[in-house]
Structure 1
Amino acid sequence: MATSGVGGDKYRSYLTEEELKTTQWNAGPPNYDVVNRLFEEGRTKVWPVGSLEEKVQNLVKTWEMELVHKANPDDYKTLDANKFVLGINGKKYFTLEEVGKVGGSYNVFLQTSLPPALRSYDPDQESYESSQSAFKTVFPRGFAVEILQVYSGPPVIAYKFRHWGYMEGPFQGHAPTGELVEFFGTAIFELDENSKVVKVDFFFDRGELLADLIKGERTGEASSNAPSGSGSRCPFMA
């Protein structure tokens, strides 16, 4: 599993100066300085160096970095690109290729069976670029994640997590509130004999996140992709 201080970032591996140059990135090499500050200022747990919790937290952060930012599956170090599948709330599983076709991690995590008219965020109408832009805009200091509890260690890692940020930018035509936005969930990572992630299951309520993002007043600048009436109703998990 990824360990702290390995790779040029405090919490993520495989970000050395050489790896930043040689890796194929979706939109240039990532920089986590800002979100690391948010994480350190807002986390509720400080895990001992070398503890299982710290190792799991760093694995999750490194895995997320690779999934979001790396363009070439051959550059992945935390997962087996040929076997990997990602499931959300016990529904459809996505292969790595399908994650790319859907438009990346935000669009996978925010999948819904709600009718388009009821969607405050419609992943079917968003690309990788537009989804990344939307959440970078609403969370200019980043969207941090911490591990709250680890229930089991590898090869099957089960844990509880917290994601948070401050709504300091507009979202789908709603004005920023400046408020803390957070949600909680659980996940299960399955590792193979080479300690590579081959299966991930996330369980959380998407509405817990999205409801806070549509609390601000309407600005009349909703995304051109947003269906008429979207954002006017609370987006329940579906």
Structure 2
Amino acid sequence: MATSAVDGDKYRSYLTEEELKTTKWNAGPPNYDVVNKLFEEGRTKIWAAGSVEEKVQNLVKTWEMELVHKANPDEYKTLDAKKFVLGINGKKYFTLEDIGKIGGSYNVFLQTSLPPELRFYDPDTETYDSSQTTFKTVFPRGFAIEILQVYSGPPVISYKFRHWGYFEGAFKEHAPTGELIEFFGMAIFELDEDSKVVKVEFFHDRGELLAGLVKGNTSDGSGNATSTCPFMS
């Protein structure tokens, strides 16, 4: 499993100074200083160095970094690009090619079967750039993740996670509230004999995230906190 680099990001591998220069990035080399600060200030668990929990947390953060920021799948080091599939709530599975066509990780994680008119965030109409801009605006200090519990170690890793950030930038037409937004879920990572990720499954409720982002008033002074929709879409 990935371990953090000594001369790079403390929570993610493969972000050394040399790798930042030589890797092909989607939008320039990523910098995690701001979100690392949020993580350290807001985490509820501090795992011992070398523990299974710390290794899983670093793997998840490194895998996410590669999936979101690396432009060339041949440069992925945490996963097998040819075998890899990602599943959401046991309903649908995506290859790396699918993820690229959909527009990246946010659009995959926020998949929904609701009709378009009931969607506060519609992954079918968002691109990689628009989704990244939307959530960087909403969470200017980043959207941190921590591992709360590891239920099984490799080669089949199952764990519970917490994602959080502060709603400090507008979400679509909704004004920021400054509130803490957090949601919880579970995931399963399957590793092959080379310790490369070949399958990931996430189980979460996207409404737990989006419900907090529609509390702010819209430009006409109204809010959607009391939406008549029974699903926080």
TM-score, reference length from structure 1: 0.93
The aligned residue for residue 211 of structure 2 is 211
Name the SS of the counterpart of 1:97 in structure 2. helix
Unmatched 5+ stretches in structure 2:
none
- 1:52-71 equivalences under 5 Å are 52-71=52-71
Distance 2:5 2:17 in 1: 14
Tell me if the contact between 1:6 and 1:14 (Cα under 8 Å) persists in the aligned partners. no
C-alpha root-mean-square deviation of aligned residues, in Å?
A: 1.7
Deviation at 1:172?
Answer: 1.3
Name the SS of the counterpart of 1:71 in structure 2. coil
Q: Deviations over 1:164-210 (max 9, x none)?
A: 00000000100000000000000000000000000000000000000
Distance 1:7 1:130 in 2: 32
The aligned residue for residue 132 of structure 1 is 132
Going from structure 1 to structure 2, the CA distance change for 1:70 and 1:200 (only over 3 Å counts) comes to same
The aligned residue for residue 120 of structure 1 is 120
Deviation at 1:213?
Answer: 0.5
Going from structure 1 to structure 2, the CA distance change for 1:84 and 1:57 (only over 3 Å counts) comes to same
Going from structure 1 to structure 2, the CA distance change for 1:91 and 1:192 (only over 3 Å counts) comes to same
Name the SS of the counterpart of 2:141 in structure 1. coil
For the pair 1:101 / 2:101, whether they are aligned, the reply is: yes
The aligned residue for residue 177 of structure 2 is 177
The aligned residue for residue 74 of structure 1 is 74
Name the SS of the counterpart of 1:19 in structure 2. helix
For the pair 1:190 / 2:185, whether they are aligned, the reply is: no
Tell me if the contact between 1:86 and 1:95 (Cα under 8 Å) persists in the aligned partners. yes
The aligned residue for residue 165 of structure 1 is 165
Deviation at 1:236?
Answer: 2.8
Going from structure 1 to structure 2, the CA distance change for 1:96 and 1:6 (only over 3 Å counts) comes to farther
Deviation at 1:219?
Answer: 1.9
The aligned residue for residue 111 of structure 2 is 111
Q: Which amino acid aligns with 1:236?
A: F
Q: Which amino acid aligns with 2:142?
A: G
Going from structure 1 to structure 2, the CA distance change for 1:206 and 1:234 (only over 3 Å counts) comes to farther
Distance 2:154 2:47 in 1: 17
TM-score, reference length from structure 2: 0.95
Name the SS of the counterpart of 1:125 in structure 2. coil
Name the SS of the counterpart of 2:172 in structure 1. coil
Q: Deviations over 1:204-223 (max 9, x none)?
A: 00000000000100125xxx
The aligned residue for residue 148 of structure 1 is 148
Q: Which amino acid aligns with 1:104?
A: G
Q: Across the two proteins, how many residue pairs are aligned to each other? A: 230
The aligned residue for residue 41 of structure 2 is 41
Name the SS of the counterpart of 1:123 in structure 2. coil
Deviation at 1:5?
Answer: 3.7
Distance 2:68 2:132 in 1: 9
Tell me if the contact between 1:160 and 1:187 (Cα under 8 Å) persists in the aligned partners. yes
Unmatched 5+ stretches in structure 1:
221-228
The aligned residue for residue 51 of structure 1 is 51
For the pair 1:200 / 2:196, whether they are aligned, the reply is: no
Q: Deviations over 1:138-171 (max 9, x none)?
A: 0000000000000000000000000000000000
Distance 1:187 1:62 in 2: 15
Q: Which amino acid aligns with 2:69?
A: H
Name the SS of the counterpart of 2:124 in structure 1. helix
**Structure 1 runs, 4 residues or longer, greater than 4 Å off:** 231-235
Distance 1:219 1:201 in 2: 38
